[in-house]
Structure 1
Amino acid sequence: MGTTTIKELTTEAEWKDAFPVMKQLRTHLDEATYISLVNEAQQKDDYKMLALFDGGEIVAVTGFMPMITLYNGRFIWVCDLVTDESHRSKNHGEKLLSQVHQWAADNGYGLVSLSSGLQRLDAHRFYEQKMDYDKTSYVFVKKLE
C-alpha cells in the first residue's frame, strides 16, 4: 500500500477519473449522466466529492452535501461512499468518512447522516461497528411515472 491522500474533486476531468470507482456503487449510471448529475448537484446543492488516492490512483470516493431538515436541523448528508472492490478492507472508507466528519465539524454541522441499501450488510456493519453510526430509520422510495 502506497501513500494515501484525500482531495476534493472539483472539475469535470477529476469527476471522470473517479467514475470507474463510483460506477461500482452507482451501477445504473453511464458516464455522461453521472457527469451531468454531479455538475447539477454541485451548482444547486453544494455537493462535494472527495477521492482517496493510494499511490496516485483513486481507490475510494465519497459525495456529500449540507442539508437542512426539520428532523435533523443542519446536517451533512453522505450521498455516496464507495471503495474500489480490489482495495477494500484497507481503511479507505474510514479515512474518507472521517474526512467528511471533519469537514462537517469545521463548517458548523453537528450531524452526519446517510442511507445504505438493504442488501449491503457489510456496509451496515462498517457504519455501525467501525464508524459508530446509529440505525434510526428506513428510507422509502416511490418511483413516479
Structure 2
Amino acid sequence: MIEIKELQLKEDIIGAFPIMNELRSHLDVQSYMELVQEAMEKDMYHMVALYENGEIVAVIGYKPMITLYYGRFIWVCDLVTKEDKRSKGFGEELLSFVENWAKDNKYQAIALSSGLQRTEAHRFYEEKMAYDKVSYVFKKLL
C-alpha cells in the first residue's frame, strides 16, 4: 500500500532522515533537524514522504518562491528514493504530487538543480518527467 504524507511532526521528520541522508550525506541528525525546522519556519519548506507498507521509501522537500526570472514557482530542494527502492516510480509519484500542489496553489513552474554527476537523475527529469535543462547553477562557499 502506497501513502503520501506531508511531514510536520518532529518524529516523522527524524524518521525520514535515513533516506534523506542518502542524498545529503554531509548532514548528521542534529544539523538535519535544525535546517529542516528553520527552513519550515522561515522559508515555507515542505517535506513530503512516500510510504510503502508503512515504511518511508522516498522523500521530497520543496518550497514556494517568487523571482523575476521564474515568477511564482516551486523550488524542489531535495528528492531521494531509498537506494534499494529506486526505479519503482516513487520519485515520479512525489514529483507529480508537488506538481499538483503547485497547480492547486497557482504556481507557474517548478525548478530544481541536480549535481553534474547525477546522470541517471538527469535522464529521469528530462525523459520521464519532461523537465527542460535551462541553466547551470553556480556556488561559492563563503
TM-score between the two structures when normalised by the length of structure 2: 0.99
- How many residues matched? 142
Q: Deviations over 1:17-43 (max 9, x none)?
A: 000000000000000000000000000
Is 1:117–2:115 an aligned residue pair? yes
Contact 2:45 2:61 in 1 (8 A): yes
Report the residue type matching 2:96 in the other structure: S
Distance 1:45 1:74 in 2: 14
Q: Deviations over 1:90-138 (max 9, x none)?
A: 0000000000000000001010000000000000000000000000000
In structure 1, the residue matched to 2:54 is 56
In structure 1, the residue matched to 2:31 is 33
Report the residue type matching 1:78 in the other structure: V
Query: 3-state SS of the aligned residue for 1:65?
Result: strand
CA RMSD, aligned part only?
Answer: 0.4
Query: 3-state SS of the aligned residue for 2:23?
Result: coil
Superposed counterparts of 1:1-145, under 5 Å: 3-144=1-142
Question: How much does 1:11 deviate?
Answer: 1.3
Question: How much does 1:81 deviate?
Answer: 0.1
Contact 2:71 2:108 in 1 (8 A): no
Query: 3-state SS of the aligned residue for 1:6?
Result: strand
Distance 2:53 2:11 in 1: 19
Unaligned runs of 5+ in 2: none
Query: 3-state SS of the aligned residue for 1:137?
Result: coil
Distance 1:114 1:70 in 2: 16
TM-score between the two structures when normalised by the length of structure 1: 0.97
Distance 2:65 2:11 in 1: 26
Contact 2:44 2:64 in 1 (8 A): yes
Distance 2:10 2:119 in 1: 32
